Amino acid sequence: MITFVSVHHALRAEKVLAAAGIAVAAAPTPREVSLSCGQCLLFAAADEAAVLAALATAKVRWSRLFSRDAGRRVYELLQEYQSPVPGGSQ
């Protein structure tokens, strides 16, 4: 599961990932992980590297990457966004 700083970024990411052939599903962001943007994208754990690479190539800013156990509503923070340019805020 990946979260975003705005709905604009989430929608752009969804288009980029669909164009890359990566299956994603838009979902409401669980309040346990963020109150900033109301939309996150869900994808298979096996697609994590491809998702991050596609977003980096398209310069789509995301917020946080989580693993999740949806059945128990447990979320583990795996990574936070790092700007590719020092001091950048894409």
Q: Which residue has the tokens 């190539």?
A: 57
pTM of the shown model: 0.83
- Relative to beta strand 39-42, strand 2-3 is antiparallel
23 — pLDDT class (breaks 50, 70, 90): very high
* pLDDT tens sequence across 46-89: 999 999 999 999 999 999 999 988 677 788 899 988 776 555 55
